[in-house]
Structure formats: structure tokens, C-alpha cells
Amino acid sequence: MRKIQVKLYRWQAVTDSQQTHQGINSALNQQALECDLFSRDKIKRYYPSLYQRYRSRINSHFISQWTRQLATLLSAQLPLAEALAISAEASPFCLQQQFILSINQDIKQGLSLSQSLKNTQHFDATYIAMIQAGEVSGQLIDTLITLANDQERQTALKKRLNIALIYPVIISIFSCIITFAMLQFIVPQFKQFYAALNTPLPRLTELILT
């Protein structure tokens, strides 16, 4: 999937009436933030600082959340176009809003949901085929719920796999640290102890020290 990087800005601003405002907004760049602030709040001057980077992506996590959200809105007997509009408005990131609005625009032009999703190039063939089957059978809401459940299970499985892969690595790192500490600090003390007793080191300890 395509990745579009935006930045999260913390800003302070002063309006024409000398009122001070502050907040955090996502924007592609500082110029985009400026346009947004000036158009919405009649900002006279502002002082943005880069707060952190945030990758606002149309990824599997977003698709899963959006699918369930759309199913919930349609279950409330809302028309598809209205449900999409509400979904776009609820999204906190402008790139995700534009993504949903582009789908809604296709719907308003007469395309089906499956055709609209295909145009975005963010959905695999299985997802689109299931949506199409749901449209034909009149079971779109149930299909969306099924897709959301499947995607959530896949996400949970990926997390468990990542944890399962990371855990042995962490254990190996700690084992190496402990082994290094023993060789550097503990084993040499054995050498001094045996030397004080005028006793030769055990063969294994001698091999480790050499």
C-alpha cells in the first residue's frame, strides 16, 4: 500500500482580536498548516514547531477500523453516501478523509461500493469480491462485519507472531550480556581466589580465561 507521510505540528497563534490559541494539527508541511489556520480561525500570526512525525497511512489497521465503522453506520439505516460522509468527518487525518471522500464521490456518480473501492487500489481482490457478493445478495452489512472480524483476527495474529519472534531475540541478548559480565567480572575473581590458595585452576576455568 502507498504510504504518505505527514507531520504533526504543535502551534501557538494570535488572532486579530489578540486572543491566543494553541493546538496540534497534522499537515503535509508548514505552508499547509498556515493555510489551514488562517482560513479557519482568522489567525494573525502563528508559531509552529515540529512536534513529531506521524505516518498517516491507508494501511490494514485503518481499513479494518473503517470497515467496522461503515458496517455500524449502515446498520443504523443510513444511506451509503451519508454513512461515508460521516465516516470521513470522523477521521482525524486529512489524508484518510480524502480517501473516504473519493470513495463517496464515486458512489454519488453512480458506481457501486465494490467499484469505488477498486478504484482506490488499496483493497485486495478478495475484499472487493466479498463486497461485490454482499451487494448482489443484499447482505452488505453482514459482509462488512465479516471482513472487519477477519482483518482484526489477522492483525492480532501478526502481533502474536511479532511477539513470538521478538521474545527469543530478547532472551538471546540478555544471555549474551550475562555471559559477558561473568567472563569479565566473576570468572577473574575465581582466578584470584585460587591463586590465594596456591591451587591450580580447574581445567575448564583455565580454558575460559585463555
Domain count along the chain: 2
Question: Does residue 125 sit within a domain?
Answer: yes
Strand 3-15 vs strand 43-57: parallel, antiparallel, or unpaired?
antiparallel
Question: Does residue 44 sit within a domain?
Answer: yes
pLDDT, the chain, mean: 80
pLDDT reading at 27 higher than 90: no
Domain final residue, candidates 135, 157, 179: 157
Question: Does residue 179 sit within a domain?
Answer: no
Same domain, 150 and 86: yes
DSSP state letter for 1: -
Same domain, 126 and 75: yes
Domain final residue, candidates 157, 182, 197: 157
Q: List beta partners, residue 10.
A: 24, 49
Question: Hey, how many other C-beta atoms are within 10 angstroms of the C-beta on 202?
Answer: 11
Same domain, 135 and 65: yes
Q: What is the pLDDT of residues 92-146, one digit of tens each?
A: 777 788 789 889 999 999 999 999 999 888 899 999 999 999 999 999 999 999 9
Domain final residue, candidates 57, 80, 102: 57
Task: Catalogue the long-range contacts made by 32-36 (C-beta closer than 8 Å, 24 or more residues apart).
Answer: 33/9
What does the alpha-carbon distance between residue 78 and residue 50 come to, in Å, rounded to a whole number?
A: 40
Question: Does residue 195 sit within a domain?
Answer: no
What CATH number is given to the structural domain containing 137? 1.20.81.30
Question: Does residue 141 sit within a domain?
Answer: yes
Same domain, 69 and 36: no
The domain in which residue 39 lies consists of: 3-57
Same domain, 45 and 106: no
Highest mean pLDDT among 4-18, 29-43, 77-91: 77-91
Greater model confidence, 65 or 196: 65
Q: What is the pLDDT of residues 149-166, one digit of tens each?
A: 999 999 889 888 888 888
Please tell me whether the overall predicted TM-score, pTM, comes out greater than 0.75 for this model: no
pLDDT reading at 53 higher than 60: no
Greater model confidence, 19 or 155: 155
Q: Transcribe 36-65 into DSSP letters.
A: HHHHHH-EEEEEEEEEEEEEEE--HHHHHH
Same domain, 117 and 37: no
Question: Does residue 90 sit within a domain?
Answer: yes
pLDDT of residue 40: 62
Tell me the chain's radius of gyration from C-alpha atoms: 29
- Helical (H) or strand (E) element with 82: helix 80-90
Same domain, 15 and 73: no
pLDDT reading at 52 higher than 60: no
Buried b or exposed e, range 127-163, using 16+ CB within 10 angstroms: bbebbbebbeeeebeebbbebbeebbeeeeeeeeeee
- Helical (H) or strand (E) element with 166: helix 140-181
Q: Is residue 144 a contact partner of residue 68, using CB atoms and an 8 Å limit?
A: yes
Same domain, 133 and 144: yes
Please tell me whether residue 138 adopts helix, strand or coil conformation: coil
Question: Hey, how many other C-beta atoms are within 10 angstroms of the C-beta on 99?
Answer: 21
Question: Does residue 168 sit within a domain?
Answer: no
Same domain, 21 and 74: no
Greater model confidence, 11 or 76: 76
What confidence tier does 23 reach under pLDDT thresholds 50, 70, 90?
confident
Same domain, 33 and 73: no
What does the alpha-carbon distance between residue 108 and residue 67 come to, in Å, rounded to a whole number?
A: 19
Same domain, 102 and 152: yes
Give the distance, in angstroms, between the CA of residue 4 and the centroid of all CA atoms in the same chain: 12
Question: Does residue 116 sit within a domain?
Answer: yes
pLDDT of residue 38: 66
Cβ neighbours of residue 61 under 8 Å, at least 6 residues apart?
155
Same domain, 83 and 148: yes
